[in-house]
Amino acid sequence: MSPPCTILLQDNYDMFSVEMEKQRDGAMDVKIKKKNKGDKKKEKLESMKKEMDVHLAVTMFSCLELVGRRCLSRCASLALSLHAQGLSNTMASEILFRDGPNELKPPKGTPEYVKFARQLAGGLQCLMWVAAAICLIAFGIQCGQGDLTSADNLYLAVALIAVVVVTGCFGYYQEFKSTNIIASFKNLVPQQATVIREGDKSPINANQLVVGDLVEIKGGDRVPADIRIITAQGCKVDNSSLTGESEPQTRAPECTHESPLETRNIAFFSTMCLEGTATGIIINTGDRTIIGRIATLASGVENEKTPIAIEIEHFVDIIAGLAIFFGATFFVVAMVIGYPFLKAMVFFMAIVVAYVPEGLLATVTVCLSLTAKRLARKNCVVKNLEAVETLGSTSVICSDKTGTLTQNRMTVSHLWFDNQIHTADTTEDQSGQTFDQSSETWRALCKVVSLCNRAFFKSGQETVPVPRRIVIGDASETALLKFSEITLGNVMEYRERYTKACEVPFNSTNKFQVSRQRVGSNRYLLVMKGAPERILERCSTIMIKGQELPLDEQWKEAFQTAYMDLGGLGERVLGFCHLYLSPSEFPRGYHFDCDEMNFPTSGLCFAGLISMIDPPRATVPDAVMKCRTAGIRVIMVTGDHPITAKAIAASVGIISEGSETVEDIATRLRIPVEQVNKRPWVVLCMRSLLQKGQPFPACANVRRACTAERQPFSKLAVTLPSAILDKGGTCAELPWWPFLCLCSSGVFLFVCLFLNQEEEKSQRQITFGQRLYQEYTCYTVFFISIEMCQIADVLIRKTRRLSTFQQGFFRNKVLVTAIVFQLCLGCFLCYCPGMPNIFNFMPIRFQWWLVPLPYGLLIFVYDEIRKLGIRRHPGSWWDKELYY
Amino acid sequence: MAIEKEKKTCGQVMTEWKEFVWNPRTHEFMGRTGSSWALILLFYLVFYGFLTAMFTLTMWVMLQTMDAHLPKYQDRLSIPGMMIRPKTDALDITYNITNTETWDSYVKMLNNFLEPYNDSIQLANNDNCTPGRYNEQPDNNGVLNYPKRACRFNRTLLKECSGLNDTTFGYREGRPCILIKMNRVINFFPGANHTINVTCAAKKEEDVLKLGDMAMYPDNGNIDLMYFPYYGKKVHVNYTQPIVAVKFLNLTRDTDHNVECRINAANIVTADDDRDKFAGRVSFKIRIDKE
């Protein structure tokens, strides 16, 4: 909706007309005019009201996007607050009819036949269709010439089409299966929301909500749509599903940022409200919500080509080029020699078709299907067969830190008391070691931890293990609560023994939290936690081994060291202290005033430090290790403080201890950060909702990290070890072609010579049939020699860098089976009776099997030398040019 | 996404392409600098040079293992092939008696073929061997018996079909001669010490009458054992291949006759194998048009 826009609001008595006009400088001038009810005709007003109410919220959000804060803060919030009755039911149903239900629409489905057709129209498939067409044309020409005997071209065409269709069915079946699984996710849980309509509060299904509805959310609810907060009491939301930030974020009516994505007065669809309550007006529903847009964006990504698709396209280009080049050459030669045009044409077509690797497509599909099946056994749904290869050719994984590498829950990791750092158990199932808990100081610290804490368990979770219980409260308090629940036992009961007399909540200005509790009958206990340095300022004593000692320089020094140590681990450190108030000064029933602070807040007794971290998941270091041994770089993307990021990265093995950051190198070399020529392992980037909206590569750092890794050469050959029967070989084998051809044709020639010593020499005469068998024998030997060389080739292709000796020749059992099968197949084709007349294979002498062996060995030796050079001199010319 | 999906204009594509061909900033031609091209070309020159050398070497080594005189393997020649003269593409001998041109070429062909069989040449070059026995000339303990002598096959043995009395080989009067020969196979002993002969017959039983009588020369279509074994061209100089002639005496005119001739020998199995139509037999078509 374009400015200027006008918003009219109906109140009980007055009508506000809010007019906004766009000025030349782009700013909005907002005028609010108060008008009397009688100024205008009633019917006109009624209709206007209705119309405007309908458009109200939409307009509001559009304005919000256009002019940001000004619109909302000056007029809209005022206007919105007048809208307390909520929508009428009829209006709601009208808007619902107009906008559709409040749910994320699945991306537009493609018709099934289109999906199937797409499976038949990939790069290789197209090549094969063309080949089949050419075959049919050639067959037609031959028929036309009256040559009805050879139906080879027809058979070839049928075989080509069959391969395309069968593999297409495979791919389609896979996609069909996975689509079903994904579809079943959609109807997970119907969600309820509390809505105010016509002044009445009622729970309805969240998908019935419409723009303009007034809704209430409270701690534990999922936000049912994008909501502009009107009123809030201590409302905090967890935006981690959108941003990955585990830190709860406050939501309040005030506008704090120009961008609707950053401002504090908007709560987003699908995020969780952790605590507090809020009411708000719905500004976006369904796919128009932020998450909906992200979902739409994300579904737009799938059109990007997978590496294997690009690879195959490239391959098809090369094959097509070669085929046409050689076909044309032979055509010209044939014409020059004097063949008739049509015959030369058939010749041309035969050569073009001969270049089409018929087996490749089937091999690719079978390989990918098998992998997909294996993945399915590990509970991974493969949506698209080609994605399997994409997964396999990963060279960089950019992982979000929070929730992916880490557990997404703060956990107490270290404690400092009695001038000693203790390590707490941070494993997910609490199976780790505990520390010495016998000290008096620990008991005091523990008391502070459990009492000075506003978080509490949601009721009814007694049977749930502590780490998994749902806690209402912020992340640090949750961590502390769970920690004390595990170490102490029932915290809730413990808290009941101390009545809360007064509490000053944690805020960013004082950075501490004080609460006073009554101990037993007549003494008050003051407990305080907060930023360690602030806490220390207020302490005059420190508790060591249960004794209160004066806080002298020595202890301050010790404190500083411990604080620095813990801070250096990238952990969030909190200090704890307490004070028993004297019963005479503060008798029972003393009125504590939180605002006036009529109690001592200094001269306290320091109890200890506790540090917390979002610990890595137990399985992550192993997974990272596996990735790295597989040559995949793992990059962690986080918005955390560099020290924290470094600590986490080190603990999961992404970086090793003591490695330098880009900043470190920059300072060492005295150059700007941008010029540091190093591939990063950890990328720090400011993450905000805005950036989430633009998918990943928009982040320049990440893109730089990723593109640095792209390998120019294909992995097609690695993926397809069993394509050894294939006549063409693959892209990466191109340099081998002449080699293989030479060797095979060499063997071919020998045998031909052996069999067919020139007539002049012997004047031996043989019949046509005998000559034919001799030709077949030569074919067979050619085939066998290619087979033998391909075995050498596949052994080479096991590794790209390592020596085959390092890798082990026969570790891949499947490959060994394939080689054995290959040999058996070769033997079968050679020696099975009747083969000469079926496949034109002749039984060959045993020694002819051995002729290609030296060639295979030579290929192998050459490749070992090549790999040795690559290993010895990484980055050299040799490496760059000869690493396939 | 919007950033990624921007469509390139035609001009941009052209510029990119031009820059790929020649990049003035980096001095790259087709993505490589001059030195890079030189290096990679040098590498492949060496690489393929080595391959060629190796191919040549192995080829040479293999050639060394071959005997200059004898084919290494001939284990698939137990049934020698048969062929006729005059030989045409489809083994189809069709002519018109009155039209001389139609059979003139056949006569010429036969004359040419029989040239080396002239009695004078045979007398000059070849020995008179003992009939009915193999003419074996073994090497003596590694000492080559070289060159080996061949036996005489005089043209006169073919009598009516020798082309000496009747220079048209009977084609003029419609009683044509066809010569039948058996392929040379080195070190092969056909018949295993029993006589061997060639017989001809109509391919189908019912055609026998139409085909009429045939005369075979030498008698019975016999091939003498003394012409075997054959030792190969280089060793067995002037070897004369034995032939059998068949003369059709009473061919029905204006009819296609399919004739099949076979070798009858104890160690040659002439099975009716469709795959090799010339193994131990030969089929041809003969037709004489009246006008």
Tens digits of residue pLDDT in A106-122: 666 677 788 888 878 87
Hey, which of A151-155, A609-613, A615-619 has the most confident mean pLDDT? A609-613
Place of tokens 């939290």: A513
d(CA B242, CA B228): 9
Max Cα separation, chain A?
133
The residue that leads in pLDDT, B120 or A464, is: B120
Would the pLDDT of B114 be above 90?
A: yes
B-proximal residues of A, 269-298, CB under 8 Å: 297
Per-residue burial over A265-285, b if 16 or more Cβ lie within 10 Å, else e, is: bbbbbbbbbbbbbbbbbbbbb
Residues of chain B in contact with residue A742, where contact means CB-CB under 8 angstroms, are: 51, 55
CA trace torsion A560, A563, A564, A567 (10° rounding): -160
Would the pLDDT of A276 be above 50?
A: yes
Instruction: Provide the pLDDT confidence category of residue A795 given band limits of 50, 70 and 90.
Output: confident
Fold of B82-289: Immunoglobulin-like (2.60.40)
Cα angle for residues B132, B136, B138 (degrees, 5° grid): 170
Average pLDDT, chain A: 70
DSSP letter for each residue of A460-513:
S-TTS-GGGS-EES-HHHHHHHHHHHHHHS-HHHHHHTSEEEEEE---TTT-EE
Partner residue opposite A762 with nearest CB, options B3, B51, B186: B186
Say what the pLDDT of residue B223 is.
92
* pLDDT (average), residues A135-142: 84
Instruction: Provide the pLDDT confidence category of residue A204 given band limits of 50, 70 and 90.
Output: confident
Which of A166, A178, A184 shows the shortest CA–CA distance to A375? A178
A121 touches chain B (CB under 8 A): no
Query: What's at A665, amino acid-wise?
Result: I
Q: Which residues, 6 or more positions from A776, have their beta carbon under 8 angstroms from its beta carbon?
A: A836, A840, A841, A842
H or E element that contains A578: strand A572-581
Q: Which residues, 6 or more positions from A141, have their beta carbon under 8 angstroms from its beta carbon?
A: A342, A345, A346
Which of A203, A230, A235 shows the shortest CA–CA distance to A218? A235
Q: Which residues pair with A227 in a beta bridge?
A: A267, A282
Determine phi and psi for B227, rounding to 5 degrees.
-80, 0
User: For residue A247, what is the DSSP state?
Assistant: S
A-proximal residues of B, 183-222, CB under 8 Å: 183-186
Is residue A745 within 8 A of residue B55, CB to CB? The reply is: no
Residue B144's Cβ-side half-sphere holds a number of Cα atoms within 13 Å equal to 8
Other C-beta atoms lying within 10 Å of the C-beta of residue A461:
13
Would the pLDDT of A388 be above 80?
A: no
Is residue A236 within 8 A of residue A276, CB to CB? The reply is: yes
Would the pLDDT of A524 be above 60?
A: yes
In tens, the pLDDT along A209-233 reads 888 888 888 777 778 888 888 888 7
* pLDDT (average), residues A797-826: 81
Residues of chain B in contact with residue A857, where contact means CB-CB under 8 angstroms, are: none
Cβ distance of A769 and B275 shorter than 8 Å: yes
* pLDDT (average), residues A495-500: 75
- The alpha helices in A100-220, defined as continuous H runs, are 112-119, 123-144, 152-186
d(CA A548, CA A576): 14
Cβ distance of A768 and B278 shorter than 8 Å: yes
Say what the pLDDT of residue B286 is.
92
Which residue of chain B comes nearest to A297, CA vs CA?
B1
Size of interface A-B (CB pairs under 8 A): 101
Say what the pLDDT of residue B273 is.
66
Cβ distance of B51 and A769 shorter than 8 Å: no
The residue that leads in pLDDT, A174 or A20, is: A174
Would the pLDDT of A391 be above 80?
A: no
Q: Which residues pair with A541 in a beta bridge?
A: A550, A605
- Token pair, residue B5, equals 């999906």
Would the pLDDT of B53 be above 70?
A: yes
Q: List the single best residue of B62, B75, B227 to mutate versus A (max A Cβ within 10 A).
A: B62
DSSP letter for each residue of A631-698:
T-EEEEEE-S-HHHHHHHHHHHTSS-TTPPPHHHHHHHHT--GGG-----SEEE----HHHHHS-GGG
Q: List the single best residue of B33, B73, B187 to mutate versus A (max A Cβ within 10 A).
A: B73
3-state secondary structure of A823: helix
Say what the pLDDT of residue A67 is.
40
A625 touches chain B (CB under 8 A): no
Determine phi and psi for B266, rounding to 5 degrees.
-65, -35
Would you give the distance in Å from CA A881 to the centre of its chain?
33
d(CA A191, CA A214): 16
Catalytic annotation on A238? no
What radius of gyration, in Å, describes the C-alpha atoms of chain A?
Answer: 38
Query: What's at A557, amino acid-wise?
Result: E
Which of B180, B197, B170, B179 shows the shortest CA–CA distance to B251? B170
Burial of A537 per CB tally in 10 Å (0-12, 13-18, 19+) = middle
B227 touches chain A (CB under 8 A): no
Would the pLDDT of A819 be above 70?
A: yes
Least confident range from A227-236, A287-296, A429-438, B259-268: namely A429-438
d(CA B289, CA B252): 9
Is residue A618 within 8 A of residue A428, CB to CB? The reply is: yes
Catalytic residue among A400, A474, A726, A793: A400
Would you give the distance in Å from CA A19 to the centre of its chain?
45
d(CA A281, CA A283): 6
User: For residue A808, what is the DSSP state?
Assistant: -
Residues of chain B in contact with residue A304, where contact means CB-CB under 8 angstroms, are: 4
Say what the pLDDT of residue B246 is.
94
Q: Which residues, 6 or more positions from A678, have their beta carbon under 8 angstroms from its beta carbon?
A: A662, A665
Partner residue opposite A764 with nearest CB, options B43, B54, B184: B184
Instruction: Provide the pLDDT confidence category of residue A190 given band limits of 50, 70 and 90.
Output: low
Say what the pLDDT of residue A194 is.
82
* pLDDT (average), residues A713-730: 31
- Asked if omega into A836 is within 30° of 0 (cis), the reply is no
The residue that leads in pLDDT, A551 or A598, is: A551
Residues of chain A in contact with residue B66, where contact means CB-CB under 8 angstroms, are: 753-754, 757
Residues of chain A in contact with residue B116, where contact means CB-CB under 8 angstroms, are: none
Is residue A343 within 8 A of residue A334, CB to CB? The reply is: yes
Instruction: Provide the pLDDT confidence category of residue B215 given band limits of 50, 70 and 90.
Output: very high
d(CA B218, CA B195): 13
Q: Which residues pair with B157 in a beta bridge?
A: none
* pLDDT (average), residues A268-297: 79
Say what the pLDDT of residue A1 is.
33
Say what the pLDDT of residue A737 is.
46
Quick one: what percent of chain B has pLDDT higher than 70?
95
Would the pLDDT of A816 be above 60?
A: yes
- Token pair, residue A531, equals 């930023």
In tens, the pLDDT along A293-349 reads 776 665 555 556 666 677 777 777 877 888 888 888 888 988 998 888 877 887 787
d(CA A471, CA A483): 12
d(CA A682, CA A647): 11
Quick one: what percent of chain B has pLDDT higher than 90?
31
Q: Which residues, 6 or more positions from A653, have their beta carbon under 8 angstroms from its beta carbon?
A: A621, A624, A625, A628
Instruction: Provide the pLDDT confidence category of residue A510 given band limits of 50, 70 and 90.
Output: low
B57 touches chain A (CB under 8 A): no
Say what the pLDDT of residue A290 is.
78
Say what the pLDDT of residue A52 is.
42
Instruction: Provide the pLDDT confidence category of residue A29 given band limits of 50, 70 and 90.
Output: very low
Least confident range from A752-756, A782-786, B242-246: namely A752-756
d(CA B68, CA B27): 58
The residue that leads in pLDDT, B108 or A303, is: B108
Hey, which of A255-264, A662-671, B184-193 has the most confident mean pLDDT? B184-193
B50 touches chain A (CB under 8 A): no
H or E element that contains A309: helix A307-337
Other C-beta atoms lying within 10 Å of the C-beta of residue A565:
16
Partner residue opposite B233 with nearest CB, options A760, A854, A877: A760
Instruction: Provide the pLDDT confidence category of residue A753 given band limits of 50, 70 and 90.
Output: low
Q: What is the spatial order of strands in the sheet that A15-22 belongs to?
A: A5-10, A15-22, A28-35
- Domain extents in chain B: 10-62, 82-289
Query: What's at A29, amino acid-wise?
Result: D
Say what the pLDDT of residue B214 is.
92
Is residue B82 within 8 A of residue B182, CB to CB? The reply is: yes
Cα distances (Å, whole numbers) of residue A356 to A318, A344, A351, A589: 11, 19, 9, 94
d(CA A675, CA A344): 61
Would the pLDDT of A240 be above 60?
A: yes
- Token pair, residue B61, equals 């080594």
Cβ distance of B77 and A766 shorter than 8 Å: yes
Residue A193's Cβ-side half-sphere holds a number of Cα atoms within 13 Å equal to 30
Quick one: what percent of chain A has pLDDT higher than 70?
66
Least confident range from A103-107, A554-558, A617-621: namely A103-107
Would the pLDDT of A728 be above 50?
A: no
Would the pLDDT of A512 be above 70?
A: no
Q: What is the 3-state secondary structure (H, E, C) of A831-844?
A: HCCCHHHHCCCCCC
* pLDDT (average), residues A868-873: 88
Quick one: what percent of chain A has pLDDT higher than 90?
1
Q: Which residues, 6 or more positions from A638, have their beta carbon under 8 angstroms from its beta carbon?
A: A400, A401, A402, A644, A645, A648, A682, A683, A684, A685, A687
Partner residue opposite A767 with nearest CB, options B55, B68, B279: B279
Per-residue burial over B188-221, b if 16 or more Cβ lie within 10 Å, else e, is: bebbeeeebbbbbebeeeebeeebeebbbbbeeb
Q: What is the 3-state secondary structure (H, E, C) of B257-278?
A: EEEEEEEEECCECCCCCCCCCC
Residues of chain B in contact with residue A694, where contact means CB-CB under 8 angstroms, are: 1, 3
Say what the pLDDT of residue A775 is.
77
3-state secondary structure of A703: helix
